[in-house]
Amino acid sequence: MKYVDEYRDRDLARTVAAAIAAEADPDRSYHFMEFCGGHTHAIFRYGVQDLMPENVHFVHGPGCPVCVLPVARLDDAVELAERYGVILCTYGDMMRVPGTKQRSLIRAKADGADVRMVYSTADALRIARENPDRQVVFFAIGFETTTPPTAVALKTAEAEKLGNFSVFCNHVLTPSAISHILESPEVRDLGIVKIDGFLGPSHVSSVIGSQPYEFFAEEFQKPVVIAGFEPLDVMQSVLMLIRQVNDGRCEVENEYTRVVTEEGNVKAQTLVSEVFELRKSFDWRGLGTVPYSALRIRDRFAKFDAEKQFELSVKASREVKSCECPSILRGVKKPTDCKLFGTVCTPQSPVGSCMVSSEGACAAYWTYGRFRDQQPSKLEAAE
Amino acid sequence: MCLAIPARVVELLDNDVAVVAFDTVRKRISLALVEDVAIGDFVLVHVGYALHKVSVEEAERTLGMMAEAGVLREELEEISA
């Protein structure tokens, strides 16, 4: 792994850290939101926060699709499996997420529902082909990286005239979520989160390109730097953000040029727009109702749209009251501010989605960072 | 699920399908979202689809980081399951 070393290089990290320390204005504070769970993990795993001056802070945003899916949609998926007796296919991350009354897909499976974990939409199609007398529903979640594979699956189902396959579509869009964090009225209830700039997601941007963030940087006057996952990528991106803030610039800059281009993957984008259209609104866990923030399946593919093929009852679903996921997803609170964190809520027995998914802020805190925040005085004393 | 892993294309099959090698694991993936992929190329694979081509250097860096962070094994288990 000879190429890794230069991105992990201690001296280089010190040089970037020194540049950040030199350029961060001591009279102001900098709050940068990372949107992607991969960045949250890199920051914790490599102790990037410890290399920052005291006035540079990371705010962990809603960058995990499992974490932002509202309980009601998960309840719908459980209903599909239990009431309609379909073979429900889903990505592994969704299995343990608790729905209303802590009911999860894995519990439904234990009780006899046919829930199957798949790695790819191609597996869900194969299951449909192998079970022509059963209805197979793919429970689709994810941001712009998982959406093109779902589009391919729908096109394949149409081409093969698969009569027993449909998709329960829950795909959501990154740029509209970022916009919403900055302008929604709910900030009044949950508190105002100070954000001076964004670390843009890496792989999402490899699909949609850096261009979609430009409107948003101009409209909301916040700098965006598309950042790679390596710790040095994150640090370099922070330095680029600090420079923009200091200069009063609000631009989209791309630190991750080795993978992300301005236009992204055009073939994938074309497929997505052929199959999906914007939903007028969609509920996000933690963000509430966000206009034009999700996709639904176009009418041409109605035969393959589980929402049109099955009548799903609208239920009043309830999040666990004391769970702080909504505030944590907005960056208003830290995982350690939650009473349940590390007590009743752990990765082994999660209460909220931020603890279920390994991409969630709570899971990252649990794995790498919980002692740092809880016992700063002891750590400092030991040094 | 969120992570994308670089893998080397070792075989090209019909219908935009390729066999890729992740470490010791071989897996069929879809090339429906990319163009002009040849045997020996590295592609970034996410939920069974190549999202785009990457250089050998980028592939090595990403794999190295994932191995060090302890997430590579989990992802490979998910892929080979």
| pLDDT tens for each residue of A111-145 | 999 999 999 999 999 999 999 999 999 999 999 99
pLDDT tier for residue A168 given thresholds of 50, 70 and 90: very high
Cβ of residue B36 closer than 8 Å to a chain A Cβ? no
What percentage of chain A reaches a pLDDT higher than 90?
51
pLDDT, mean of residues A251-265: 90
Query: Distance, in angstroms, between A268 CA and closest chain B CA?
Result: 5
What percentage of chain A reaches a pLDDT higher than 70?
91
pLDDT, mean of residues A278-282: 94
**CB spacing of A203 vs B78 below 8 angstroms:** no
pLDDT tier for residue A21 given thresholds of 50, 70 and 90: very high
Which residue among B47, B64, B74 sits closest to A4, beta carbon to beta carbon?
B64
Residue A206 pLDDT > 70: yes
Residue A213 pLDDT > 70: yes
C-alpha triplet A112, A118, A123: angle, nearest 5°: 115
A233 within 8 A of A203, measured Cβ to Cβ:
no
CA–CA distance, A22 with A282 (Å, rounded to integer): 43
CA–CA distance, A264 with A206 (Å, rounded to integer): 5
pLDDT tier for residue B73 given thresholds of 50, 70 and 90: confident
**CB spacing of A119 vs B81 below 8 angstroms:** yes
CA–CA distance, A348 with A174 (Å, rounded to integer): 29
The contacts of residue A94 (CB under 8 Å, 6+ apart) are A66, A69, A74, A77, A105, A139, A141
pLDDT tier for residue A244 given thresholds of 50, 70 and 90: very high
**CB spacing of A119 vs B78 below 8 angstroms:** yes
A246 within 8 A of A62, measured Cβ to Cβ:
no
Residue pLDDT, tens place only, A296-350? 999 999 999 999 999 988 776 667 788 888 888 877 888 999 999 999 899 888 8
Q: How far is CA A368 from CA A81, A278, B33, in A?
A: 36, 37, 35
pLDDT score at A380: 40
**CB spacing of A2 vs B74 below 8 angstroms:** no
Which residue among B30, B35, B78 sits closest to A267, beta carbon to beta carbon?
B35
Residue A93 pLDDT > 90: no
pLDDT score at A192: 64
Cβ of residue B73 closer than 8 Å to a chain A Cβ? no
pLDDT score at A372: 60
pLDDT, mean of residues A245-259: 92
Pick the residue of B47, B53, B74 with the most A CBs within 10 A to test the interface with A by mutation.
Answer: B47
pLDDT, mean of residues A268-286: 93
Cβ of residue B35 closer than 8 Å to a chain A Cβ? yes
pLDDT, mean of residues B54-74: 77
CA–CA distance, B31 with B45 (Å, rounded to integer): 9
Residue A95: count of CB within 10 angstroms of its CB: 18
Give contacts of A 128-187 with B, CB under 8 A. 142, 145-146, 148-149, 152
The contacts of residue A30 (CB under 8 Å, 6+ apart) are A24, A55, A56, A57, A196, A197, A241, A242, A245
Identity of the residue numbered A22: A
* Chain B residues with beta carbon closer than 8 angstroms to that of A203: 4, 44, 46, 51
